[in-house]
Chains A and B, each alone.
Chain A
Amino acid sequence: MGAGVTLLAGADRALRAIELVTVVFAGLVIFFVMWIGVAEIFSRKLFNFPLYGQLDLIELTMSSYAILPISYCWRAAGHIRVELIIDLFKGRRRWIAEFLTSLVAFALLSVMLPGVFHFFQNAWEIGDSTINTQWPTWPAKAVPVVGFAILWVRLLLELFAYLRLIFCPDAVPIAIPEHHDIVADAVEEANTIAPATPAREGGH
């Protein structure tokens, strides 16, 4: 059991590092798109010179933030769900319920991956390109394959993590989504922007 847990924790750490890379990359792409948008406005309005291919460029970058960090979001429990019923379960029952919801996600990803890969493969084989600029689309279409593959591995890991918790419900949970909820996140963000001062907090 000990070796299995070490392996699970190690795999989780490695995957977290990869997921962090995907989300940082996605964030930087969004920041880049901001600059492209600003440059396009200034170039078009001030110099009457629209940027060549900015529309195609923005579309080609979109899968990098619309799909690539999907696994990071999963790990951070960022994908929304209705928690009223599942929150009623505690202990082993809760882990069984979580295992089943993850199993549904694993099944979906397992059937989506071949389709997403085939879509990319098709673009690669026929040399698909954007209409105006003739830029190849396969790199952008490869991104969803990577994003989905990472999530597939994440879900596989998670199923093992929940199985472990079903057999040992009191063990320290590892490799499962961090359920610090939206409220906690909002509170944390408010704290970073306007830290609570003891005098104003009425002493609590």
Chain B
Amino acid sequence: MLPIHYGLIGMAALAILIALGVRIFVAAGVVGFCGLWALLGFSKAVGIAGHIPYSDTTNYALSVLPLFILIGHLAHHAGIVQGAYRCARAWLGWLPGGLGIATVFAAAGFAAVSGASTATAAVFSRIALPELLRYKYHPSLAAAVVAAGGTLASLIPPSTIMVVYGIITETSIGGLLLAGFIPGIISAALYAATILVRFYFNPSLGEPIVGVSWSERWGTLHEVTPIVMVIGIVLGGMYTGWATPTEVGALGAFIIFVMALVRRTLTGKAWLHSLIDTAKLGVMIFSIVWGVLVFVRFLAFAGISSAFQGWILALGVSPYMVLFSVILLYIVLGMFMDGIGMLLLTLPVVFPLMVKLGFDPIWFGIIAVKMVEVGLLTPPVGLNCYVVAGVRPDIPLQQIFRGVWPFVVADLICVLIFILFPEIVTFLPNLMMAN
């Protein structure tokens, strides 16, 4: 049997183990180890697999990950969501579907201090959903707005999933974080446009907010100061290169920590819980990283990646045809899998192919993360919809899934825009490189 055959058997075995419910890091690690054993012998496999967990996770560039997670956990306790929501509501509430649009932009604002989509959806289900329902928004639309708004945290920096993409593909994390900003704003704008269009055709979907004075509006602006500061630090730090992503993450977490202390919203217990939750999520991601890297080492010895590239290039199809196939693959996988798992498992093979076909690594990162966002909404495992239904059991899950389709279409339009005009994505990182 040739190494490539071992590689193919390994990929099939990995898919089967994951489908059967083996934890992703275990499945990747076991298949990778067995593959190395088959190709190189037992003792070499033990040696290679044994040094990967330490060598490949204790790299300075990766230390940004827990800090970004910490920003999100601390931000939950700093009263930032409520402030962002009050501000967005005061400024945008008068529009048709204004409260829905305000929810989307408040979620986008909160995304700037949080990298976790499900957490954002959960908090907005508690804060924004009751308001939306009070203004007679159709429950299906109200829940969908919250579920979709939550996904923006994946794209808008600081994003956990973007850092994971950077780790596994060895793409500049700073460049990726910068690149996510404008597409994040465009995504939010398209969600808002979706709501506007729906209200244009059917104004009875919900009541507008009237009678907010200008002084009230100006009065809410200070509520978003922490968000503006963190955006400024992350984007400014990356753009000018005055700090590393880790330092930017540390400063962001520090500001939110101080803000929570000043506002007296962070108890000792909540602080400890934030740290424990950060460590728990961090070790989960790091475990998949080393598990997948054991698997990737096996794939490299088996020559899978280059063989795969050879097959695809030999087909002679257009690079865009391949790209659309990958997007289709992500739509299907996203229906069943968690986004981080989906990216980590596919990128070792897909990413080198995309680069070989001439696509920009940072640009493809944004496309991939956008597809993760789609996966958070689509049934049967659209996690954000489950989260909203979990917070509001009175809104049936099917109703939420029905409501999110227009937002899924908006997401796909977004992807199309980024494909047609890649400069939207690469503009900021290119400016940074030029600096």
Residues of A participating in the B interface, judged by any CB pair closer than 8 Å: 23-24, 26-28, 30-31, 33-38, 40-41, 45, 55, 58-60, 62-63, 65-70, 72-73, 76, 78-86, 97, 100-101, 104-105, 107-108, 111-112, 114-119, 140-141, 144, 148, 182-184, 186-187, 189-194, 196, 200-202, 204
Contact = CB atoms under 8 A, between A and B. Distances in A.
A42 B54 CA distance: 30
B283 A73 contact: yes
Contacts of B282: 26, 30, 65-66
A67 B286 contact: yes
Taking residues whose C-beta sits less than 8 angstroms from the other chain, chain B's interface range is: 35 or more
A76 to B, nearest CB: 6
B121 interface: yes
A169 B239 CA distance: 58
Given A115-B49, A190-B123, A65 B22 contact: no
Contacts of B134: 200
A62 to B, nearest CB: 4
Interface string B254-294: 10010000000000001010111011111110111000000
A146 to B, nearest CB: 12
Interface stretch (B220-228, B332-340, B357-365): B332-340
A147 B70 CA distance: 22
A-B complex: 9 closest residue pairs judged by Cβ atoms: A115-B50, A37-B250, A27-B275, A86-B21, A186-B122, A26-B279, A66-B286, A200-B130, A62-B58
B23 interface: yes
10 contacts: A66-B286, A69-B283, A80-B338, A108-B33, A112-B29, A114-B46, A118-B46, A119-B50, A186-B121, A186-B122
Interface string B112-155: 00000011011101110010011000000000000000000000
B126 A194 contact: yes
Contacts of A101: 20-23, 26
A57 to B, nearest CB: 10
Interface stretch (B91-99, B168-176, B240-248): B240-248
B19 A85 contact: yes
Contacts, number: 254
Contacts of A190: 122-123, 125-126, 391
A84 B336 contact: yes
B50 A112 contact: yes
Central interface residue in B23, B55, B380, by most chain A CB within 10 Å = B23
A189 B387 CA distance: 11
B222 to A, nearest CB: 20
A24 B60 contact: no
B90 interface: no
B21 A81 contact: yes
Grouping DSSP codes into helix (H, G, I), strand (E, B) and loop, the A interface class, with mixed when no group exceeds half, is helix
B66 A33 contact: yes
Nearest to A80: B338
A67 B54 contact: yes
B181 interface: no
Contacts of A119: 50-51, 54-55
A63 B58 contact: yes
Interface stretch (B74-82, B193-201, B206-214): B74-82
Interface in B330-372: 336-338, 340-341
A30 B125 CA distance: 29
A86 B20 contact: yes
Contact of A107 (B30, B57, B387): B30
B114 to A, nearest CB: 12
B251 A37 contact: yes
Given A27-B276, A62-B63, A84 B58 contact: no
B36 to A, nearest CB: 10
A33 B69 CA distance: 13
Given A58-B60, A115-B47, A201 B279 contact: no
Nearest to A87: B21
Contact of A105 (B20, B23, B62, B76): B23
A77 to B, nearest CB: 9
B391 A204 contact: no
Contacts of A27: 272, 274-276, 278-279
